[in-house]
Amino acid sequence: MISLLRKDFLILRRSRLTVALLVIYPVAIALLIGLALSRGPTKPRVAIVDETTPGASVQVGGRSVDVSEYAKQLFDQVEAVPTATRAQAIAKIQSGDVLAAVVIPHDIAARLSSDVSKAHLEVLYNGDALEQSLVQSSLSSALAQANLGFSEQIQQAAAQGIGLLLRGGNLGVLGAPANLVGLSQIPPLLRGVIAHQPPGADRAALERTLAFATFAAQNLALSKTVLSTISQPIAVHSTLLHGRRTPLNTFAVVVAVTVSLMFICLLLAAGAVALEREEHALARLLRGAAGNRRLDRPGGVLISREGLLTEKALLAASCSFVVAFAMLAGIGAFVHLEWTRLPLWLAALALGAVAFGALGVSIGALAREVRAASLLAFLLSLPLAFLALVPSGSVGRGLYDAISVVSFVFPFKAALQALDAAVNQSSPGLPISLVHLAVLAVVFGALARVGLRRLD
Amino acid sequence: MSESPAPARTSPSVLGVSNLVMRYGEREALRDVSFEAAAGELVAVIGPNGAGKTTLLSILAGIQRPSAGSVNRAPREVGWVPQQPALYSKLSVAENLALFARLERVADPDGAVERMLEQTGLRERASEQLARLSGGNRQRVNVAIGLLSRPPVLALDEPSTALDPGQRERLWSFIRGLASEGTCVVFSTHDVHEVQRYCTRALVLADGALLFDGTPAAFLAQAAADRPGREGGDFEGGPATGTGSGPGTGGDSPEDSRGGRGAAGYPIKDFEDAFVSFLRARGHE
């Protein structure tokens, strides 16, 4: 087996272009996937046409809220491109400079202040179905955020007015009397007056007024809370049920490294086994491996089928392990990783590599030539990686169940979970994933053994 | 079973094949094939396509397991030379030889490599990658690998296929040299002229059955004896012009067996003609 291993390393050393492609391609793919995962969606570039008059405001309880506050809220949610006119905005959409435009009409303040009509914004966009969907989704989210922020401003102004009504003092509204008594101050004042009143019709009237004032003060105080609730009716409180929350960037690192591990290992293992067949060497190496005759003298074989498969799987596993670990360590220079967990990383990478090696040799055993084996490995790798990353709930239940089964019977998801557990302490724990990988390695090793029965 | 008894041998048998049967489902690729071969013999296995030649050789080499029967040699005692060179094109001649010498657990791998480079005349090209060698030279390396462990028996599957006449001549010179040193060589071929020119014994297979086992001269005699009369046959040849010996007494040397006259006196044009005639007489086209 050592001789064969040396031979394979020698062949690899002389196939520099193949080796370079074998390493560079998967690492590039892995980094792209990792980069895509680690970056959240970028803000959509949107033209904002603010037709409101500078200083236009909405009057709430004697206080005014500047309408430009709304534009500010919207600017925070998008990459705003201030645009003077609607026509310019349309030109920018058509040229592709912006994804969409939001026109804030000049009468928005008047409509917001009126009790009868609703304020409207105009949203303009074009593009294909996918782009329209993306723009609609992004803008809906941005406008909802802006609406929320603006309504909070109005709610704060309203709450301030209610507070002044309750506490009394100077309302600051033109024409309002100075030093007004607050609603909450009226009940104690009335109680003082009632105490000096003899029983009779006047006292009864004052007591009824006291009851009303007490009730009104209590309910007006409550309305401040109600206003707050209306502005944000549902607050989100997150609870993680299992394990530790994995930061997106370190999860992306784990995905990138696992993809590289899989690509290199599968291609190398499948190619190495198929090369033996392509060079017509398989029969020469394995002849007599079946113990295929009654002998009057003992006979031997150059290498057993199991030995050959183990050698190829180890070759691929060791190469992919080295590349994947170098990648993990290299990325570790830029992303915070816990180096104290190094032994666990190594265990996850090693067992993942062995499981991928077993899958690779089973592909190689089925293929007749290197090109077919490589193609098969590619065709299998990409869907496996993408299927394993499909989040639950993003597709129908039946489809997700099918995806889960596929992900379970191939090593990518188990390797991803093992490395995620090793790097990020996520769930399921490392031991479960390692056992899963070991079982898959045995199963695919057995399949490869069956595939290698044919020697020609 | 074969029609002719195996020729008498003075050397002891080094290869014994007993009652080999090979079935692929319902089809029988080999039917009760038995023969023995002695040291220094050059045994040709010939027959039409699908006769079972490659199956027989692959069983000798230990690549396939027979459904029944036995071979008295372990796979390692049979040097194996497949039809297509089983070599690594990214390795040099010497590296290929060294790899297989180590895999074969040859006592002195470096010595074996040197010996084979010398024997094959490839010493000057020892460091060249296989991919850069001609087909003939690759085949020489292919044969050399089969000989690394100095096996008493060498099995070659159509060794001269795809070689030009010059390369073929050199290959056969090399193989005859091996036989003269005591190696029992068993090879399959579609080129019956090679049988006539080089081998000492022919095994004729058809539909998995061994139809003939004897010298090329005996085969010619048998074919001539089988020849139908002029009026009933489709033979267009004229009177015999060959110098071959009489029926059943073909000369032992290949040179003695170039055409001949059958028992009925009908001429045999050449070995290929005899081969076709022999098979036709037994219902194999």
* Segment A57-61 long-range contacts (CB within 8 Å, at least 24 positions apart): A57/A109, A58/A109, A58/A112, A58/A113, A58/A154, A59/A113, A60/A154, A60/A157, A60/A158, A60/A161, A61/A157, A61/A158, A61/A160, A61/A161, A61/A162
Q: Cα B90 to chain center, whole Å?
A: 30
Give percent of chain B above pLDDT 70.
81
Domain assignment present for B10: no
Tell me whether residue B170 is in a domain.
no
One-letter amino acid at B199 equals: C
Tell if the CB–CB gap between B76 and A3 is shorter than 8 Å. Answer: no
Q: Which pair of tokens denotes residue B244?
A: 């071959």
Instruction: Please indicate, yes or no, whether residues A152 and A201 belong to a single structural domain of this protein.
Output: no
Name every chain A residue with its beta carbon within 8 A of the beta carbon of B104: 302
Domain, as residue range, for A398: 2-39+247-288+302-451
Q: What is the tally of structural domains in chain A?
A: 3
- Identify whether residues A32 and A77 lie together within a single domain: no
* B145 CB neighbour count, 10 Å cutoff: 26
Chain-chain contact of B62 with A299 (C-beta, under 8 angstroms):
yes
Interface residue A293 vs chain B (CB under 8 A): yes
- Whether A349 and A412 map to the same domain: the answer is yes
Q: Is residue A241 part of a domain?
A: no
The answer to the question of residue B95 being in a domain is: yes
- Element housing A210 (H / E): helix A201-231
Q: What's phi and psi for A104, nearest 5 deg?
A: -95, 110
CA–CA distance, B11 with B13 (Å, rounded to integer): 7
**A389 domain-assigned:** yes
CA distance A277 to chain B (A): 9
A153 φ, ψ (degrees, to nearest 5): -60, -45
Count of CB atoms situated within 10 Å of the CB of A443: 16
- Same domain, residue pair A275 and A365: yes
B228 lies in some domain: yes
Structure token pair of residue A201: 């019709």
Tell whether A334 and A220 lie within a shared domain. no
Shared domain for A188 and A54, answered yes or no, is no
Question: A301 vs B62: CB contact, 8 Å cut-off?
Answer: yes
Interface contact A35, partner B, CB < 8 A: no
A50 and A34 both lie in a single domain: no
Answer whether residue B36 shows pLDDT above 80.
yes
pTM higher than the cut 0.90: no
How high is the pLDDT of residue A38? 62
Q: Within this chain, do residues A215 and A252 fall inside the same structural domain, yes or no?
A: no
Query: In sequence order, which residues have a C-beta less than 8 Å from that of residue A432 and are 6 or more positions away?
Result: none
Residues A54 and A190 in one domain: no
Q: What is the pLDDT of residues B85-131, one digit of tens each?
A: 888 988 999 999 999 888 888 888 888 898 888 877 888 888 889 88
- pLDDT tens digit string along B196-231? 888 889 898 888 888 888 888 888 887 777 776 544
Task: Give the integer Cα–Cα distance in Å for A258 and A255.
Answer: 5
The residue-averaged pLDDT of B172-196 equals 86
Whole-number Å distance between alpha carbons of B6 and B15? 13
Tens-digit pLDDT string for chain A (456 aa):
788 888 888 888 888 888 888 778 777 777 777 676 666 566 778 888 888 877 777 766 566 777 777 777 777 777 888 888 889 988 888 888 888 888 888 887 777 766 666 777 788 877 666 666 777 777 777 777 777 777 777 777 778 778 878 887 776 665 667 777 888 888 888 888 888 888 888 888 888 988 988 888 888 877 777 776 666 555 555 555 554 455 557 788 888 889 889 989 999 999 999 888 888 888 888 876 654 444 333 445 678 888 889 999 999 999 999 988 888 888 777 777 788 888 888 999 999 999 999 999 999 988 878 888 888 888 888 888 888 888 776 777 888 888 889 889 999 999 998 998 888 877 678 889 999 999 999 999 999 888 887 665
Of chain A, the end-to-end C-alpha distance in Å amounts to: 21
A65 shares a domain with A10 = no
The CATH number linked to A71 is 3.40.1710.10
Of the pLDDT bands very low, low, confident and very high (cuts 50, 70, 90), residue B261 is very low
What residues in B contact A285, CB-CB < 8 Å? 103
Q: What is the pLDDT of residue A444?
A: 93
In-domain check, residue A33: yes
| Res. B8 pLDDT band, cuts 50 70 90 | low
Residue A297 belongs to some domain of the structure: no
Picking from B97, B131, B150, the residue at the C-terminal end of a domain is B150
Q: Is residue A124 part of a domain?
A: yes
- Which residues constitute the domain of residue B266? 215-281
- Please state, for a pLDDT cut of 90, what percent of chain B lies above it: 6
A20 and A146 co-located in one domain: no
Tell me if A11 and B91 make a contact (CB, 8 A cut-off).
yes
> What is the phi/psi pair of residue B185, to 5°?
-110, 125
Helix and strand element counts for chain A (H, E): 16, 8
Q: For residue A240, is it within any domain?
A: no
CB–CB of A280 and B104 under 8 A? no
- Select the residue from B88, B139, B157, B158 to test the A interface by mutation, using most A Cβ atoms within 10 A: B88
- Residue A105 has phi, psi (to 5 degrees) of -70, 155
Token readout for A449 is: 């053994």
- Asked if residue B173 is part of any domain, the answer here is no
Give residue A171's pLDDT.
65
Q: What is the pLDDT of residue A313?
A: 92
Among chain B residues, CA nearest to A456: B63
Q: Which of B150, B176, B196 is the last residue of a domain?
A: B150
Q: How many domains does chain B have?
A: 2
Look at residues B117, B150, B183 and tell me which one is the last residue of a structural domain: B150
> How does DSSP assign A339-375, residue by residue?
GGGHHHHHHHHHHHHHHHHHHHHHHHHH-SSHHHHHH
* Residue B70 to residue A293, Cβ atoms within 8 A: yes
A274 domain residue, yes or no? yes
Question: A396 and A309 share a domain?
Answer: yes
Q: Are A74 and A153 in contact (CB under 8 A)?
A: no
Task: Give a yes or no: residue A111 inside a domain.
Answer: yes
